[in-house]
Amino acid sequence: MKKIIKIMSIALVLVMMLAFFAGCKSDTNSGGTGETLIKIGGIGPTTGKAALYGQAVKNAMEIAVEEINAKDGNVKFEVKFEDDENDAEKSVNAYNILKDWGMQILCGTVTTTPCIAVSTVANNDSVFTLTPSASSTDVIGGYPDADGNMTIARKDTIYQMCFSDPNQGTASAQYIKEQNLGTKIAVIYNNSDAYSTGIYQKFQAEADKLGLEIVSVKTFTDDSDTDFTSQLTDAKNAEADLLFLPIYYTPASLILAQAKQMSYAPKFFGVDGMDGILSLENFDTSLAEGVMLLTPFTADATDELTVNFVTKYKDKYGDVPNQFAADAYDCIYALYNACVNQGITADMTAAQISEKLIAEFSSSDFTFSGLTGENMTWSTSGEVTKNPKGMVIQNGVYVGL
Amino acid sequence: MRKFKSINKFTRTGIISYLIIIIGFAVIFPLQQLGLINHSLSGQLVPICTYIVMALSLNLTVGFLGELSLGHAGFVSVGAFSGVIAAAGLQDKIAFEPLRLLIAVIIGGVCAGIVGLIIGVPVLRLRGDYLAIVTLAFGEIIKNVINCLYVGVDKSGLHISMNDVKSLGMENGKIILNGPQGAVGIDQISSFTAGVVLILFALFIILNLVNSKSGRAVMAIRDNRIAAESVGINISKYKLIAFITSSVLAGMAGVVYAMNYSTIVAKKFDFNTSILILVFVVLGGMGNIVGTIMATVVLYMLPELLREFSDFRMLIYAIILILVMLLTNNEKVKLIISNTASKLLNFLAKIIKRKGSADNG
Amino acid sequence: MTFLSNLINGISLGSVYAIIALGYTMVYGIAKMLNFAHGDVIMVGAYASYCTMIYLGWHPLLSILFSIVVCTLLGVIIEAFAYKPLRRAGSLAVLITAIGVSYLLQNVALLIWGSTPKVFTSVVNFEPLSFFGGKLTITAESIVTVLACIVIMICLTLFTQKTKIGKAMRAVSEDKDAAELMGINVNTTISITFAVGSALAAVAGVLLCSSYPTLVPTTGSMPGIKAFTAAVFGGIGSIPGAMLGGILLGIIEIFSKSYISTSLSDAIVFAVLILVLLIKPTGILGKKITEKV
């Protein structure tokens, strides 16, 4: 036993020394290496259950930075991406690692819960943060609900590239009402996921206001996201003709398959998390026939920007990029435009850059057109304003509604 | 040195563990205040402290009581959320942060203790792997229930609901716990100092318990339950004492942990976290307090240090975990290792001595 | 009608749990260890079958056979490298190693196949059965899974009762040292147990992914834990117990989702498990262990 303690203490000392050296090394690096690159940090899950989303963002960031650095401009970026396993604690650790590296702007984090934790720290440190995909309003803060209840105050340095959850929930309900898509609506959402629950709550509130009839609301959790027969049976028995799915595409693909097995065929309506369903390897696209979704990005779009991005992504990583990747790509370009406009250089501190970027993003003159929307603008609230596109899947491709 | 060795084994472990923590604090704290430690390390201090307490408390159940618990994170969770709610409720009433943290920690500990009692009474009748699976089940139940819990505070006080935010029926209030979206907007009042104080407190409780009549009874139960029963030890009572102490400490650690981040979700405290804490305990040596502390520090920092390997990070972590288990538990390998280690130590000692004498000369 | 379709859904989900639980229970019964990597062997089996079926265009049956071979080899290798050196160590050391193996398999799979889900093509190609004018449908996958489960259970029971190796397994599970004295090679027996358990995992993986066709590196972990619960539920170490536990667990899960609460269904499943264990501490069909002083 004593020997083990001995070994352990040696290991401990080694680990401590490593930690200190790692810190020292990165400190000296931040001084300046010939070329002056603005350091952008990225955080997201690249391992574990949510690895899909983090890897998409990481890949897209790399593509965008490569493109920008190949340009003949003054602003050039250096990007470093850290894994957080979709965990708030690991995410803060990753943030600190990036800070030691000398990060000046944060492009992240990818998933909601870690982002709430990291954005608070980043706000305290005055690091400008543009999250590609963390959609909860708790990320930006300062967002009272209908009764005026608040969870967290506005974090001034935090901005979003994706739609916020309420935005999507409300927009979906309005869209369903306007287009008269369904009379009896059923909802299945992920009760252990902040994104899904957030959209559902706003959808429900707006549906009540608009007088939409919701006949069945069922949930699932991350631990039981394979079998949806009982939720579907409930919707089927309630004779719902429209199934609203504010969830990601992996469980959605299972719901579609199981609904077909049960010979239950309502209209399906999804949100931006649904995008990507067609690019699932070996997915039977006939299952998704007629599925509608509100999404800012589709990989099948034929405009030059999208085609260019999708081709590059496929060549480099072998997959079709999803909406997370598109948001991340836009993030880097939006940051690039803002940096150019404000004349930001690599020798500024994170706080100086943050001040300039806040001024730029919240000014009404700053608009950005990218993969996920035309003429996007931001306000001081940190939320993005852009138009969602209604899409429907026909013959295995997205068609505008 | 010989005098030191002659002291009772428990006192010696106690002194060593207190010393490790105090020296560690005395070295790191000034460096941190002066900004000489990088952000990465300084950000890990609080979680490391709390994981040490979680591991120490689990060691009480697994190491001293000899019962495998796979749901320890459940107690941490109960403590964390009740502490967060308490702290948020007291935010306007107590301005002095350390006092608010202290009250939150106490409330968190008490709540976790109550849950420990509720779970312990039926569960401790079971044995071995069946007990393990029931603790796992309780951990999952706690996670699922907290996932459905909505808590808010406004002028008229606390509101609790199991349905949604709306049914809290409050206006212009603050939502503390928002179901699956977790507790958001936590006032981050934890600090490294608080973490160290908590470790010292945990050590004090555990060492005293282990060294007391109850502690000896607990270990007698572990070593031979039937023999212990036959000499008239009240098995259930002593098992329960150890189990509840363990859950109280876990709950307290949960509070300090939660107050270090602006958000926590119930999902965080799942089976995987229970396992993570268990890994610290097993690697540190069952019933071995010093070992547990060290194993926690090393294993917590390891994934962070492996970040250089990017995509291969968790793979390497897994391999290291397997190898370490194989190396420390296989008799043959253990012998070889300890021989080389002692040779290495002797060698190092020689070099240092030589260097010292050379310097003097 | 809803009740009936819920019952069928429950049995179908439960039989997937049951097949996984059979593997768990075999290994636990003989090697007395909780093999937490079992769920990940399932995942590897599913990927093996997927790759041969989609990339190489093999016949589904051939791909199942291939995946059985892969998993059997994997099981034996894991046992030889990770568990065998710990035969004399405490059960906790083996448990942690098993968790390490589980992390290892998941992360290797992540590196090989990436994080994007693959959609599994069902190995069963007949039409679902439909009753009462489409009000009640039974999918082909459920029928095959239930049948496979029953066949596997019967085969396993016969194997352990009638064959020489099976008898050796039972002897090892009763008393390792006595078995050794009787001339049984304990190491070989345990290796064979792992081989059988892992072969079952391959079948379970293919059937799991046929019913629930998304395949990611973490596919096996949650069904693994639930199946472990099922095995304990039925009385760990007992072959009919694993089957019964799995099916009951499936039914309870679906029923609590349908009639009580979808968000609390896991909590209810675990609460029932606790109740059963408190009433019958060794599971439904578990043997009562008499203690020797």
Residues of A in contact with C107 (CB under 8 A): 47
B265: distance to nearest CA of chain A, Å?
8
- pLDDT tens per residue across span B285-301: 888 899 999 999 999 99
Which range among A100-114, A176-190, B7-21 shows the weakest confidence by mean pLDDT? B7-21
The token pair that represents C224 in the structure block: 């693994």
- The answer on pLDDT for C224 being more than 60 is yes
Beta-strand pair B183-184/B263-264: antiparallel
The CA-CA-CA angle for residues C95, C99, C102, to 5°, reads 140
Predicted pLDDT of residue A20: 52
User: In whole angstroms, what is the distance from residue B159 CA to residue C287 CA?
Assistant: 48
C292 falls in which pLDDT band (50, 70, 90)?
low
- The answer on pLDDT for A147 being more than 90 is no
A52:C117 CB<8 A: yes
- The answer on pLDDT for C115 being more than 60 is yes
C96:B130 CB<8 A: no
- pLDDT tens per residue across span B196-254: 999 999 999 999 998 899 989 998 988 888 898 888 889 889 999 999 999 999 999 99
- pLDDT tens per residue across span B40-95: 999 999 999 999 999 999 999 998 888 889 899 999 999 999 999 999 988 888 88
Maximum Cα interatomic distance, chain C, rounded to a whole number of Å: 63
The angle that helices C239-259 and C221-234 make with each other, rounded to 10 degrees, is 110
Share of chain C above pLDDT 70, in %: 97
User: In whole angstroms, what is the distance from residue A138 CA to residue B10 CA?
Assistant: 49
User: In whole angstroms, what is the distance from residue A335 CA to residue A107 CA?
Assistant: 9
Predicted pLDDT of residue C9: 86
- Compare CB distances from B130 to C99, C225, C282 and report the shortest one's residue: C282
SS3 A31: coil
SS3 A382: coil
- The answer on pLDDT for A21 being more than 60 is no
Tokens 């591991």 — which residue? Answer: B55
Category of C134 on φ-ψ map: left (φ > 0), alpha (ψ -120 to 50) or beta: left
Tell me the sheet residues that pair with A398.
A393
Check if the beta carbon of residue C251 is closer than 8 Å to that of residue C16: no
A154: distance to nearest CA of chain B, Å?
10
The token pair that represents C107 in the structure block: 């992360």
Share of chain C above pLDDT 90, in %: 37
Name subunits touching B (3+ CB pairs < 8 A).
Answer: A, C
Cα A90 off chain centre by: 18
| C198-206: average pLDDT | 92
- The answer on pLDDT for B169 being more than 90 is no
Tokens 């069946």 — which residue? Answer: B130
B361 falls in which pLDDT band (50, 70, 90)?
very low
Predicted pLDDT of residue A33: 43
Looking at the complex, does the CB of residue B187 fall below 8 Å from at least one CB of chain A?
A: no
Check if the beta carbon of residue B80 is closer than 8 Å to that of residue B121: no
| A279-289: average pLDDT | 84
- The answer on pLDDT for A18 being more than 70 is no
CA distances from B30 to B37, B42, B105, B196 (A): 10, 12, 25, 14
Share of chain B above pLDDT 70, in %: 96
User: Domain spanning A35-163+320-385: which CATH class is it, in words?
Assistant: alpha beta
Closest residue of C to A188, CA-based?
C262
Share of chain A above pLDDT 70, in %: 91
**Which residue has better confidence, B288 or B111?**
B111
The token pair that represents C291 in the structure block: 């203690």
Check if the beta carbon of residue B174 is closer than 8 Å to that of residue B165: no
- The answer on pLDDT for A12 being more than 80 is no
Name subunits touching A (3+ CB pairs < 8 A).
Answer: B, C
C136: distance to nearest CA of chain A, Å?
8
From the candidates A2, A58, A151, which should be mutated to test the interface with B, based on the most B CB atoms within 10 A? A151
Predicted pLDDT of residue A5: 55
- The answer on pLDDT for A271 being more than 50 is yes
Residues of A in contact with B175 (CB under 8 A): 145, 149-151
Element (H, E) at A39: strand A38-44
Looking at the complex, does the CB of residue C270 fall below 8 Å from at least one CB of chain A?
A: no
Q: How many CB atoms lie within 10 A of CB A24?
A: 12
Average pLDDT, whole number, for chain A? 85
Maximum Cα interatomic distance, chain B, rounded to a whole number of Å: 80
Which range among A343-347, B209-213, C87-91, C175-179 shows the weakest confidence by mean pLDDT? C87-91
Predicted pLDDT of residue B356: 61
Predicted pLDDT of residue A25: 44
Predicted pLDDT of residue A389: 76
Predicted pLDDT of residue C121: 85
Predicted pLDDT of residue B329: 78
Inter-chain Cβ pairs, chain A and chain B, closer than 8 A: 191
Would you list which residues of chain C are within 8 Å, Cβ to Cβ, of chain B? 28, 34, 82, 85-86, 88-90, 92-93, 95-97, 99-101, 103-104, 107-108, 111, 225, 228-229, 232, 236, 263-264, 266-267, 270-271, 273-274, 277-278, 281-283, 291, 293
**Which residue has better confidence, A272 or A186?**
A186
| B16-40: average pLDDT | 90
SS3 B291: helix
- pLDDT tens per residue across span A64-77: 999 999 988 888 99
| B329-345: average pLDDT | 75
CATH topology classification for A166-295: Rossmann fold (3.40.50)
- pLDDT tens per residue across span C47-81: 999 999 989 988 999 999 999 999 999 999 999 99
Residues of A in contact with C254 (CB under 8 A): 227, 229-230
| C90-102: average pLDDT | 87
Q: Is the dihedral of CA C147, C148, C149, C150 positive or negative?
A: positive
Q: How many CB atoms lie within 10 A of CB C222?
A: 19
Taken as a whole, chain B contains a residue count of 361
Predicted pLDDT of residue C30: 84
B11: distance to nearest CA of chain C, Å?
27
Average pLDDT, whole number, for chain B? 87
- The answer on pLDDT for A223 being more than 50 is yes
Closest residue of B to A6, CA-based?
B341
Which range among A235-244, B121-130, C69-78, C110-119 shows the weakest confidence by mean pLDDT? B121-130
User: In whole angstroms, what is the distance from residue B108 CA to residue B112 CA?
Assistant: 6
Expressed in percent and rounded to 5, the helix, strand and coil fractions of chain C are 75, 5, 25
SS3 A189: strand
A301 falls in which pLDDT band (50, 70, 90)?
confident
- The answer on pLDDT for B6 being more than 60 is yes
From the candidates B136, B150, B163, B329, which should be mutated to test the interface with C, based on the most C CB atoms within 10 A? B329
Q: Where are the domains of chain B?
A: 44-289
Predicted pLDDT of residue A26: 43
**Which residue has better confidence, A48 or A1?**
A48
- The answer on pLDDT for B355 being more than 70 is no
A383: distance to nearest CA of chain B, Å?
18
CB burial class (10 A; 0-12, 13-18, 19+) of residue B97?
middle
Predicted pLDDT of residue A23: 47
Predicted pLDDT of residue C74: 95
Predicted pLDDT of residue B66: 87
Category of A272 on φ-ψ map: left (φ > 0), alpha (ψ -120 to 50) or beta: alpha
| C32-51: average pLDDT | 91
CB burial class (10 A; 0-12, 13-18, 19+) of residue A174?
middle
In chain A, CATH 3.40.50.2300 covers 35-163+320-385, 166-295
Q: Output the pTM of the full model.
A: 0.89
Cα C80 off chain centre by: 21
B5 falls in which pLDDT band (50, 70, 90)?
low
Q: How many CB atoms lie within 10 A of CB A80?
A: 18
